[in-house]
A and B are shown apart, each in its own frame.
Chain A
Amino acid sequence: MKHTSHFMGLLLLPAGVLVLAFFALPMVKLIVTGASGEEGLAAYWSILTVERHREALIATLLLSALVTLVALIISTIVGVFLVRNRFPGSQILVSLLTFPLAFPGVVIGFLIIMLAGRQGLIGMVSQTLTGSKLVFAYSMTGLFLGYLYFSIPRVILTVMAAAEKLDVSLEEAARSLGASQWRVITDVLLPALKPGLIASGAICFATSVGAFGTAFTLATNIDVLAMTIYTEFTLGANLASAASLSVVLGLITWAALSIARSLSGSNVAAAG
């Protein structure tokens, strides 16, 4: 069906206006503002030169990488397990594992407090057992758990989708050739899951880098990039610095997601 460009323009107009006026234009303004401080364009280097910023960047990247790694390991095992083993209740487990998918970061922060906060479960259990209260919700460990919390459901879904498409006969062939369980996993299973793992790993990484709500709930003194930006903006009222840092933050998440998209070749969209 041939359509005139006039008609196409009409279809794309509302979305186009929205994105142009409320995204493209403000983002350009943000980039310009980032360079409007005393240091000018050099503000964009402050993330490396200013010690506080550099440390926040390193902490953010390390934390996100670690979360990604652990989430991938846990989700791969659990996801493949649930696809391969159907037992009474396994469907419920799948539902329970994927439900937290749309919980906002603030709520997840609160759930971590329930788990490891001052009145949390772990604290109570440790107090009864050892007499001393174990509290780590308000530290990097708590943040790690929080990021893990929102990463696991997403990665599990990707792994399960990929595992369902796996050709079981490949594994049977490997086994018939004498491969051990371990060799089957490393030679057949993981290579087949690889594209999905890379894609969801990148999403997981990008989401962790950009996450704000969880850190915000847990504590204001954990130095991850998102918190640094927030502090610069509200307490320091340093608009240029906040702007340049968020541009860098945006570039990191965008790059991670671009890699994910080019590797998986399709629909991945995430962050927040």
Chain B
Amino acid sequence: MQRRTYFYAALMLTLVTVGFLVVPVVMSVMAGLTKNFFVGLKSGLTLEWVFRVWELYQDTIWRSMGIALACLAITLIAGVPAAYGLALSKSRWARIFEETLILPVAVPGLAIALALIQTYGGFREFRMSWAFILVGHVLYTLPFMVRSVLAVLSSIPLNEYEEAAASLGANKRRRFFDIVVPNAMPGIMAGSLMVVTLSIGEFNLSWMLHTPLTKTLPVGLADSYASMRLEVASAYTLVFFIMIVPLLIAMQKFGQTGTARKPTQH
């Protein structure tokens, strides 16, 4: 009897929690598709707000995608070799290097952004371009790529595979591309998804680093929340959800195979 009570109490709490997380999302989606949210659904459904968002903010969408892909490219080029190097070395210096690499995740974006503005804000061209935002995103996402790849590489007998490949005549280059990269693939995939997801949703750094001409999607979102009517803001949020949800689904799939680390940012 008592166990039933516990079961239903816990189930209730679970449902309330799910409701707390899901209801606002549903409301937001509805608001973005309703003619007049204040009047309610009876005012009719429309794509008008979505089109308005497209008109007003499509540059932020393209820019965010571009930055995310550039960020992915850089984190792949810098992160995969670094993870490989860290997997190979057991030295103290490698561990210190790893810690330093991870550090940007432990420091609030606001602090990193201030530091970047102070150090490089004087370079006008750089400061005014989207590359300035990209730098922030790379710093913030690189640890996730390195960790993700490193986790996979540390879980396989990488050294033996490499020795075997070497005994079969493969040089360093061949070993990296034939053995290391294919076997690190689950980590590279999970890391890539995370990098793209995090970059598209990154706000703290982007808000500080952007200029009126280099707004990203979340910056545009904050802008619309402050200055646009609720329907437009909701429609814009809906666009963001549409971009991010496939990535999240893919990430959950990877998460089930146990290689992905969970992203965080607020």
Contact = CB atoms under 8 A, between A and B. Distances in A.
B84 interface: yes
B201 A102 contact: yes
Interface stretch (B12-20, B41-49, B54-62, B182-190): B12-20
Interface in A84-120: 85, 93, 95-115, 119
Contacts of A78: 10, 13-14, 17
B254 interface: no
A162 interface: no
Interface residues of B, number: 97
Interface in B83-109: 84-86, 88-89, 94, 97, 100-109
B246 to A, nearest CB: 12
B168 interface: no
A74 interface: yes
Contacts of B114: 30, 229, 233, 242-243, 246
B148 to A, nearest CB: 10
Which of A81, A154, A229 has the most chain B CB atoms closer than 10 A to its own CB? Answer: A81
A229 B110 contact: yes
Interface in A10-34: 10-12, 14-16, 18-19, 22-27, 29-30, 33
A173 interface: no
A27 B88 CA distance: 29
Interface string B221-241: 110010000100110010010
B157 to A, nearest CB: 11
B96 to A, nearest CB: 11
A101 B265 CA distance: 9
Contacts of A27: 107, 111-112, 115
Given A106-B203, A114-B31, 17 more contacts: A1-B159, A8-B89, A11-B81, A11-B88, A15-B78, A22-B120, A93-B14, A96-B18, A99-B252, A104-B265, A105-B203, A114-B24, A145-B20, A153-B21, A210-B109, A210-B110, A226-B110
8 contacts: A23-B103, A33-B118, A95-B252, A115-B20, A157-B262, A207-B264, A217-B225, A258-B106
Interface of A: 1, 3, 7-8, 10-12, 14-16, 18-19, 22-27, 29-30, 33, 74, 77-78, 80-82, 85, 93, 95-115, 119, 121, 145, 147-150, 152-154, 157, 181, 203, 206-207, 209-214, 216-217, 226, 229-230, 233, 239, 242-243, 246-247, 249-250, 253-254, 257-258, 267, 269-272
Interface of B: 2-3, 6-7, 10-11, 13-15, 17-18, 20-25, 27-28, 31, 37-38, 74, 77-79, 81-82, 84-86, 88-89, 94, 97, 100-112, 114-116, 118-120, 135, 138-140, 142-144, 146-147, 151, 159, 162-163, 166, 172, 197-198, 201-204, 207, 218, 221-222, 225, 230, 233-234, 237, 240, 244-245, 247-248, 251-252, 261-266
